[in-house]
Structure 1
Amino acid sequence: MGCCDAPGLMPLEEAMDNMLSRIKPIQTTLRLPLAEALGYVLAEEILSPIFVPPFDNSAMDGYALRIADLEQSKTLPLAGKSFAGLPFEGEWPQGTCVRIMTGAKIPQGCDAVIMQENTQVTEDGILFLQDEVKLNNNIRPTGDDIKQGDIVLPKGARLSPRDIPMIATLGVSHVVVVRKPKVAFFSTGDELKPLGEPLAEGQIYDSNRYGIKPLIENFGCEAIDLGIIPDCPKTLAETFEQAQQLADVVVTSGGVSVGEADYTKDILEELGEIGFWKLAIKPGKPFAFGKLNTAWFCGLPGNPVSAVLTMYVLVQPMLAKLAGHTEWKAPESIPAITKTAFKKGPGRTDYQRGVYTIEDGQFVVETTGNQSSGAFRSMSLANCFVVLERERGRVEVGETVQIQLFNSTLY
């Protein structure tokens, strides 16, 4: 008896462990120009080759001085200027100050910078109005941000828009990254119609591919759209063969339920094997995971909310591991007080769509309304999932629930 024939539903946690235990990270690496590396996962840690900043510099527009000179006189003649990229050069006479701008190199011997708001220009020089001046006032020392040899980013970190400029400050022009996973995806069903074409009786538009593609790309993978495949065993088998030649992972939506025209499961058992099918999750029960000859397989339910939810909850961590993204973390659960009731029956972990706000320092949450797996409007309105435990029943107003705020992949 196979997994798919076993009675009952597999708990979500067991399915996740089953899936992740089998996935091995991609070993192929690339050396890319920094400007092209956004979204890739680092195959090597980034070590700083320099100090940042590389020299002592001013944190303010103002005047560089020696505190000992200021103790002799509150007015100091101007000896010169230090600008960013144009430092003060030459001899610096005792008893004088140097005009300095933010980021400019500190002159040799300077031990404080007074910001210009605390000064006054006079005929005799610069009058300093600040009573107490501390040693190294407004001076950013060499290596204040990053020291030479520091690990700036670890192996396994995915490069974000915040990381790229930080690496650039080190003068690093190229990085070694893991090749992005390739994910081929398609929708199945005779009832599906491409956008822009009129609907015949009983047909609907294929929206799932428009939800799956951006998620694949937001997960840091390369998306390969194979379109809509009709409910024809021969065509489906040919598409699976094509998909596994193109990609590391094949994702389908629809065709893994129990309908008479759901051929995907049968074809998969011929081309490979199914690890599990049918999970104790709502929405998304008919989710399948398995292995083709040369690629992994994830079969999503056909209902739009179920497809996006299972991509987010199940496929996302699988692709993160495949990409070597060891810094990836699942969304954090936060306790919240319900402002509306949530209908639920025991038996499956339920991901309901909700809207959270913060009132008096406390997270509160309410339903987005219709929780049907085909009602995508409720997903569009939501900013979090209300995660209701498998054996929990109906939730009344004022109870505490766990919510997961949407991470960047859903925004």
Structure 2
Amino acid sequence: MMDNTGIIILAAGSSSRLGTAKQLLDYQGKTLLMHVVEQALASQPARVVVVVGAHAEEITATLAGKDVVVCYNADWSTGMASSMNRGMTQLLIENPAITSCIFSVCDQPYILKENFTQLFVHQLETGKGIVASTYADTVGVPVLFSKAYFKILIALHGDQGAKKIVEQHKDDLATIPFDSGGVDIDRPEDLKYLWNQMVSVSAAQEIIKNNCTWEYKRIRNIGNVCGYIVAEPIISTLDIPHFRQSSMDGYAIKFEDRLKTLKVVGEMRAGQPSVVKLMSGQAIRVFTGAPLPEDADTVVMQERVKRDGDWVMVEDDHLAIGLNVRQKGSEAQKGTLAFAAGALLTPAAIGFLAGIGCREVLIFEPPKIAVIITGDELQEVGKPLAFGQVYESNSLQLRAALKKGGVAEISLYQSEDDPKKLEAVLAEALRESDMVLLVGGVSVGDYDFVVQTALREGVRPHFHKVKQKPGKPLFFGTKEGKMVFGLPGNPSSALTCFYLYVLPAIDQMMRRPHSLMIISALVAADYNKSTGLTHFIKAHFKDGRVLPLHAQESYRLQSYAQANCLLVLEEASTGVKVGDEVQVILLP
């Protein structure tokens, strides 16, 4: 534990990429700054200070809840030195007993807690006043300075930085190799280090979940809300039933008269607008749903009486007072909660709400979704195929999957492999929709323009590759709360990515239960794979067993058409044997 050492993270610069602060670029599910902060905290220093300047409000908000001190450097634009002495001053205010400090930048994606602890340990071992990281024959950060250098650090100004101090005190310097330290994000081309990092399936799903903030509520007629989620509590405006009523065909009596021979003096049917008063010694014929006569408290089933003309005798040894009577308000009482917010509107729920007089419901509305199909090789179904062309199927299968997923407003676009044309289509889709599915062109080929176009349109990237098969080149980004998915062009990959990532996002937007059910099953055939990627295998589930199907290639849909599930084999798996228990995702 570095209880006498503080860490200062310099995050004041204005350098920005793709419309967002460099510090807030995503790296494997979190911002670059958050990655460095968490690694610094994990090394257990006495204090962590983050120096902010440009984008201070936005950056500070992302650090809420973290055990760090955020200080603002009003002079950040004058150079690195002002941030270093501002951080050093704040660190000594927080903990005057500090005997060493470590400076780190905010944009090193490969920094780990060990990079901080090794500096601390090496300083103890060597007794040197400065311990720096080295990479590519360069001395750099993170770098540790002992207390003897605190005044010098506070006195820095302009473009002066840690390297100036190191150069002047090489006799008091020890170094530790940090080969990956040369990777920071200072130029647009440096972003390749972020893009080349694949995220795991679980990380990708968590990133999408954390960025799924869209929410829209709408009042709909009760006859058009099946499958939606109620967005507010529903309070009953009436007592339902609105009157005491019979739940059986039979005879209404006073319980105290059950041992008497009773005279039948009339009948009451369902919907009867007036109520008859029941006198002692009388019975009234009633039917299911009919109002109960005044002063009657029990209904005897017609099978449990003996009738002779206008007279009846009760023959029910188990008769109890109130039997077969629906009390007023027994279904719903006026002014009380009838249906909770967040409940799923099933057919039964719709029937219940209609039964208590509810005509309209506020629900979580599904998003408007735009599907953009890209690719010069695509031909419309029904037209002849030229050499090099394939029939376009993604728009049809995704539209069907979206409709089945409860999405009603779907806009379809098609774009050539031309960046300018795609940019215009994407701009329109982002204006008119809540979610955009870009299909095809998300890989890294010379004619795969989708990701670059999304970035030019101000879409903030969150990840571009996932450790899975099929569907590794999957892009996800956001713009002003709207979600943008770049799905692979291969139909099998596109559909798999839809089920794994897009459909759960729609579920979350609509606040409904997950559309996909995950179960365990016994595998019915051997299946081999290499480690490194999670495999989603088209399969068929029946009677507790799951059979991997043929034709698993990403361009083939024949086996998908026969599949009712995806068999899941995790990254570390080398395959399964007959009888092994596996995880299965049942397809909707």
Pairwise TM-score range, normalised by the shorter structure: 0.7 to 0.9
**Structure 2 residues not aligned, in runs of 5+:** 1-189
Partner residue in 1 for 2:540: 355
Given candidates 237, 241, 245, the residue that maps to 1:53 is 241
AA of the residue aligned to 1:169: G
Structure 2 distance, partners of 1:47, 1:39, is: 20
Question: TM-score, length-normalised on structure 2?
Answer: 0.62
Per-residue CA distance 1:332-382 (angstroms, 9 max, x = gap): 432222223334332222222333333xxxx23223433333332322323
1:91-130 residue pairs with structure 2 within 5 A?
A: 91-130=277-316
Deviation of 1:314 (Å): 0.7
Report how far residue 120 of structure 1 moved.
4.6
Counterpart of 1:67, as a letter, is F
How far apart, in 2, do the equivalents of 1:174 and 1:398 lie?
51
Aligned pair partner of 1:380 in 561, 566, 569 = 561
2:459 is equivalent to residue 278 of structure 1: no
| Structure 1 residue 157: Cα displacement | 4.5
2:586 to 401, 405, 409: 405
Residues 1:24 and 2:203 are matched in the alignment:
no
Q: Which sections of structure 1, spanning at least 5 residues, go unmatched? A: none
One-letter amino acid matched to 1:376: L
Mark the CA change 1:97 to 1:244 in structure 2 (over 3 Å): closer, same or farther: same
Contact conserved, 1:268 with 1:292, CA < 8 A, in 2?
no
Larger Rg: 2
Contact 2:196/2:465, CA 8 A, preserved across alignment: no
Deviation, structure 1 residue 250? 1.1
Report how far residue 180 of structure 1 moved: 3.8
SS at 2:289 equivalent: coil
Q: What residue number does 2:57 align with?
A: none
Q: In the alignment, which of 13, 22, 33 is matched to residue 202 of structure 2?
A: 13
Cα deviations by residue, 1:12-48 (Å, 9 ceiling, x for unpaired): 111122122223233x544444344455554322222
C-alpha distance in 2 between matches for 1:200 and 1:2: 39
Out of 55, 61, 79, the position equivalent to 2:265 is 79
Structure holding more helix per residue: 2
Matched with 1:69 is 257
| Preserved CA contact (<8 Å) 1:88 1:107 | no
Distance 2:350 2:569 in 1: 38
Q: How many Å apart are 1:185 and its aligned residue?
A: 0.7
Which residue does the alignment assign to 1:337? 522
Asked whether the 8 Å contact 1:245–1:294 carries over to 2, the reply is: no
Q: Secondary structure at the match of 2:576?
A: coil
Letter in 2 for 1:249: M
What corresponds to 2:546 in structure 1? 365
Greater shift, 275-284 or 287-296, is seen at 287-296
Q: Highest relative contact order (Cα 8 Å, sep 6+), 1 or 2?
A: 1
CA distance in structure 2 between the partners assigned to 1:3 and 1:147 by the alignment? 63
Residue 70 of structure 1, CA deviation: 1.9
Moved more, 374-383 or 391-400: 374-383
The total of aligned residue pairs comes to 398
2:60 maps to which residue? none
Deviation at 1:83, TM superposition (A): 1.7
Q: How does 1:175-190 map to 2 (within 5 A)?
A: 175-190=361-376
- The structural deviation recorded for 1:205 is 1.6
Match of 2:360 among 174, 179, 190: 174
CA contact (8 A) 1:3 1:277 kept: no
1:222-258 deviation digits (Å, cap 9, x = unpaired):
4333333221222111111111111121111111123
Secondary structure at 1:175 match in 2: strand
Aligned position for 1:394: 575
Q: Distance in 2 between matches of 1:370 and 1:326?
A: 36
Match of 1:199 among 365, 374, 385: 385
Q: In the alignment, residue 51 of structure 1 is paired with which amino acid?
A: D
- 298, 312, 315: which is aligned to 2:499? 312
Q: How many Å separate the matches in 2 of 1:394 and 1:201?
A: 38
Partners of 1:230 and 1:31 lie apart in 2 by 39
Structure 1 counterpart of 2:513: 328
Percent identity reads: 31
Given residue 338 of structure 1, which amino acid in structure 2 is its aligned partner? V
Match of 2:490 in 1: 303
CA offsets per residue over residues 117-148 of structure 1, 9 Å max, x none? 33454325335443321232222333333333
| Pick aligned residue for 1:236 from 411, 416, 422 | 422
**1-structure distance, mates of 2:193, 2:241:** 60
Give 1:5 deviation, angstroms.
Answer: 4.6
**Bigger mean CA deviation after superposition, 243-252 or 145-154:** 145-154
**TM-score, with normalisation over the residues of structure 1?**
0.87
Partners of 1:192 and 1:228 within 8 A in 2:
no
Show the counterpart of 2:435: 249
Amino acid at match of 1:371: Q
Partners in 2 of 1:293 and 1:134 — Cα distance? 64
Matched-pair contact (CA < 8 Å) for 1:216–1:223: no
Q: Is this contact kept in 1: 2:366–2:506, CA < 8 A?
A: no
Structure 2 vs 1, CA of residues 327 and 242 (structure 1 numbering), >3 Å: closer, same or farther? closer
RMSD (Å) for aligned C-alpha atoms: 2.6
**Structure 2 vs 1, CA of residues 261 and 155 (structure 1 numbering), >3 Å: closer, same or farther?**
same
Kept after mapping to 1: 8 A contact 2:234/2:338: yes
Contact 1:84–1:104 (8 Å) recurs in 2? yes
In 2, are the aligned partners of 1:271 and 1:293 still within 8 Å (CA)?
no
Tell me which amino acid in the other structure corresponds to 1:316: L
| Alignment CA distance shift 1:126-1:88 (3 Å) | farther
What is the distance in 1 between the residues matched to 2:568 and 2:336?
40
Q: Determine helix, strand or coil for the equivalent of 2:275.
A: coil
The match for 1:216 among 384, 399, 402 is 402
Maintained 8 Å contact 2:259/2:314? no
Paired with 2:504 and 2:517, the residues of 1 have a C-alpha distance of 14
Q: 269-278 vs 113-122, which deviates more?
A: 113-122
Deviates more, 1:96-105 or 1:216-225: 216-225
Give the Cα–Cα distance (whole angstroms) in 2 for the partners of residues 151 and 376 of structure 1.
48
